A and B are shown apart, each in its own frame.
Chain A
Amino acid sequence: MNKLGVRLKKKGTPYGVKVPESKLTAKSPIERAPLPEKVIIPLHQNIGAPCEALVKRGDKVLTGQKIGDSEKYVNAPVHATISGEISGTTIVVNPPTAQPIEALVVTSDGADEWVELDVPKNPEALSVKEILDRIRGAGLVGLGGAAFPTHVKLSPPKGTKIDTVILNGCECEPYITSDHRVMLEYGEKVLSGLNIIRKVLSPDTIYIAIEDNKDDAIDHMEELIVAMGLKEDFKIIPLKSKYPMGAEKVLTKMILGREVPIGGLPLHIGVVVHNVSTAKAIHDAVFEGKPFIERVVTVTGAVKNPKNLLVRFGTPLRSLIDYCGGIEGKANEVVLGGPMMGFSQFDLDFPVIKGTNGVIVKESTPIREQDCISCGKCIEVCPMYLMPTVFPRYVKAGRYDACKEAYIDDCFECGACAYTCPANIPIVQYIKVAKRELTKRAANK
């Protein structure tokens, strides 16, 4: 119960794992990180095609100026996030893919002079096409982790009816609180962005899914919905906190009882899931004409003062960690993203990119993989109802086809299995090896 009346019954799942939440920064208001002296802007920050540089060394750029774009549809352009001069190019290695990416370096002139923002005179009157153009132009990608270009996700193929939109405020990864703070501090913008999504997709039902470890966010969003007169349109679904509740496939099952086909997307069952921070960025792009150049990043773990920071893309990790008071104790690993699905990064000159929702500093303890004792814990927790125990066995034997027959494509690598494994088997790592090998074989056919 809250002051607005009866709350919907919380939904929970028997699958997944209870992970210590460690949300150290849940009560820390968003702070603006100091502007760095230089930013590194990788030209490939979305799941689609890389961008071509539009500027060359020595060019002057303004904050928000587009500096990389592509002809390809599945792509999001990149912008300068500070004003200054293009001082060169460099190569960064993005941990998830381990692929080297070309990046532009912008050296600040200290002025943070913005391009002129194209604020629409009457934002309500924008057509769907104009909205999508603005979203693409702003370089928006999904902020939940996969960095899928937002305009693509908002353009379902012809003939696909989207009947449900789910706004995802679960943030089930431990430590990370950026979505939580965005809901609390930019709630109106989130709902305005959701209204834009509604206009583009015209679904029958819109749900807002929030885990119950963020009761304040649930209350706040509920109040805003009532205040904005949207009570009939947006339904808040409180969910019992459990990892990986916020995964798209888990949400469709939990809220609608629908399962996304193996290898498919939620849109194949008429659902589109957007993250709350993405909705806020959609509002900024469409209503304020702002290019997508900054986001909230939770810098936490073994740093002196964990914080939620509003960070310009391209800011090196080192400056964020230093701003949070530096590394504490013997911590020797830096994870980008959540601790469950995030990736280690050893190079602190690596920049914050569009998909970075958290920077976690922790102590790494080398572990010894033991033999599987067939305890079946991984099967109990797998949100995709797979039998993760078979994958390491098959991979060690080189039986990649058997992995495929065991529905490896269904796995979205949440890591619940490896988290719970008493034998400490890096199951996700084996699954990644098998997926890569299967992709390679399929390409060679």
Chain B
Amino acid sequence: MTTEREFLISPGPHLWRGLSVSQIMYFVVIALMFPTGAAIYFFGYRALSVIGVSVATAVLTEYVCKKLRGQAFVMDGSAVVTGLLLGLILPPTIPLWMVAIGSIFSISIVKEAFGGLGHNIFNPALGARAFMTVSFSAQMTTWVLPMGFGADAVTSATPLSGVSDWQQFDPSAYQAMFMGNTAGSLGETSALLILIGGILLLGLGIINWRIPAVYIGMVALMAVALGQDPLFHILAGGLMLGAFFMATDYVTSPLTNRGKIIFSVALGVLTVIIRQLGGMPEGVCYSILFMNAITPLIDRYTKVRPYGLVERVESAS
């Protein structure tokens, strides 16, 4: 009989959407290929080697950490995402051994020491960038103009660091900033390709539109309020990459939509404040790290009102 076989039982629901954590991670990797492509196009072999070292070290560190913690190593793609992101937010001329140290720090300290994926408080790539900025401050603030695969690197200021008085900024540079033909961290210069990757993730339903929309919108608003050019603030520095790929990190951003909006508004305010008043030109990294730390608090105060709660209060009174 066809019915003679071993049957299993399992808890419901007996259907699953089928989008797993590692699939999400690999979709993020695919989306990150757009800014990665821009990095390679503009910064040539330097981009390839920095990103390569960062990703390889991240995966290797994850493997060693899992073995040391006596857990199974799963190639879930999260270490690849962290390695990629870290590579994309480093300056092109950074020595490779520093990249390796940063990558080890991101996975071992910022991620695994807190319990691994799902338990980390801070975005691992940004945590490592902050660590590297403190440890290797000279190398972390040396910028070059895009040189592709051929030319020698020419040191330059980034738009943000170069323009202390932004009003003297030449608006014709906007096109270069939008396309990515400007000095800056490897993957943050091309707003266009970050946008393509970001829209891909939005379309797949992997990231929530509220965070990038509110964050970028808030930065623009703050710029207008301070009498500055909002477009410059949007295109300059790491805002686009941060808004689409870092602030949207599930683990370190609030759970509810209300929480996400509060989180993003605060991010926008902090970013512009640091850019204008802080001792360093860019504020995206530190504002996201700061808001990562506030996230549990936001979650606590933005709980959803459950169905049927109001009615119960009314009927009880």
Contacts and interface: CB of A to CB of B under 8 A. Distances in A.
Nearest to B311: A261
B1 A333 contact: no
Contact of A420 (B3, B17, B253, B256): B17
B8 A422 contact: no
Contacts, number: 172
A268 interface: yes
Interface string A255-270: 0001111111000110
B20 A174 contact: no
Contacts of B16: 367, 418-419, 424
Given A364-B8, A428-B12, A423 B306 contact: no
A253 B19 CA distance: 29
A210 interface: no
Contacts of B115: 371
A410 B303 CA distance: 15
Interface residues of B, number: 46
A127 interface: no
Contact of B10 (A364, A413, A420): A364
Given A318-B3, A364-B8, 9 more contacts: A260-B307, A322-B1, A326-B3, A332-B7, A333-B10, A370-B76, A379-B255, A419-B17, A423-B20
Interface string B106-134: 00000000011111000000000000000
Q: 10 tightest CB-CB pairs across the interface, nearest first?
A: A326-B2, A415-B13, A344-B9, A371-B118, A346-B7, A429-B11, A375-B250, A407-B306, A339-B14, A261-B312
14 contacts: A17-B17, A259-B311, A262-B307, A268-B315, A269-B311, A340-B14, A348-B3, A370-B76, A371-B115, A373-B21, A374-B118, A379-B256, A380-B257, A419-B13
Contacts of A367: 16
A311 interface: no
A333 B14 contact: yes
A375 B306 CA distance: 19
Contacts of A340: 12-15
B112 to A, nearest CB: 12
Contact of B308 (A261, A318, A347): A261
B308 A264 contact: yes
Given A262-B308, A264-B312, A340-B13, A332 B19 contact: no
A418 B13 contact: yes
Scoring A341, A373, A418 by chain B CB atoms within 10 A of each residue's CB, the highest score goes to: A373
B306 A385 contact: yes
Contact of B21 (A360, A384, A386, A423): A423
B3 A332 contact: no
Contacts of A345: 7, 9
Contacts of B304: 379, 385-387
B310 interface: yes
A79 interface: no
A203 interface: no
Given A332-B7, A407-B306, A423 B13 contact: no
A370 B11 CA distance: 16
Interface string A344-364: 111110000000000010101
Contacts of A260: 307-308, 311
Given A340-B15, A371-B118, A333 B306 contact: no
A344 B8 contact: yes
B8 A346 contact: yes
Interface in B200-215: 208
